[in-house]
Structure 1
Amino acid sequence: MPMEVPAGFVQMPGHDPGIFNSILGPFWARAEGEGLAIGFRVEARHCNPVGQCHGGMLAGFADIVLTGGCNYLARLSRFLVTVSLTQDFLAPAALGTWVDARPEVLAVTRSTLFGQCLVIADGVPVLRASGSFRFGGDPDPRFDRLRRLLAEKA
């Protein structure tokens, strides 16, 4: 199973061992002009019994893309609490495929961000997701690690 990562992607900053995000990853990010791509390679541990990426993994990935990616795009440096996350599963993503998404900020209010993304597996749309995310506390440098990492790699 190929585990290579497409050119230009760098491994996203890790989380404390044992928290949910550390169990799902690793994830990889690439700045694309003013935009951002986040991806991962489907491993056996991400799959259901028929060798396809589990829907829960895709939903978890979309949540991370929308919270982390939209935080990056909107330059918030804040923890974002998921209030609503809607997913439409479009197609399967097989073991070994590269899966990525580009978050899009739809709106930012005083307390909430609204975003969406399309998750693609080797060029095929597999999931459409949108959500609303409440600001969880004041700006915090812990939630700006992705911006610092990509700036270092530029």
Structure 2
Amino acid sequence: MAITTGGGVTSYDGDRARGFVESVRRFFWLPRGEQRAVAPVLPLARVWFFGAAAGAGVVAIGWFDVAVLVVVGTVYALLDDVIKGVRHRWPAFVVGLGVGWSVGTLVDAGVPASADPDWTSYPGLVCGSLAAFVAFAAITRVPEVSRGR
């Protein structure tokens, strides 16, 4: 059952109805009293393993560039945790993607190119994706500073 308020449809969050504007605000700013948990490592590891395996399979078959699968999977998994409201979510997202891009670039520069051009970017993308997940999970584990001092 949906409740209409002011011509718009609201969504439910447990027992509490939440409108569109409040949902958008929550995406950027969580309410003050809301509990912020750390990012769970196991789902991030599952996404990384799936991205690495599916990327290798796609490159082996030669369907399309592996960058699309690995990068979209990484960004989607990080954004999913940001939407859930993990601790230090926006700094963790930005730093995670920055670290992932940096590590991927360093691995691409340091690892000699493969004879097969399809496999050239794969090691950098997989290592960069892993580094992004590790940095994101590590930053969400930094303790929060109380602002009531």
Shared fold per TM-score greater than 0.5: no
Instruction: Provide the TM-score with structure 1 as the length reference.
Output: 0.24
Instruction: Provide the TM-score with structure 2 as the length reference.
Output: 0.25
Of Structure 1 and Structure 2, which has the larger fraction of its residues in helix? 2
Of Structure 1 and Structure 2, which has the larger fraction of its residues in strand? 1
Task: State which structure, 1 or 2, has the greater radius of gyration over its C-alpha atoms.
Answer: 2
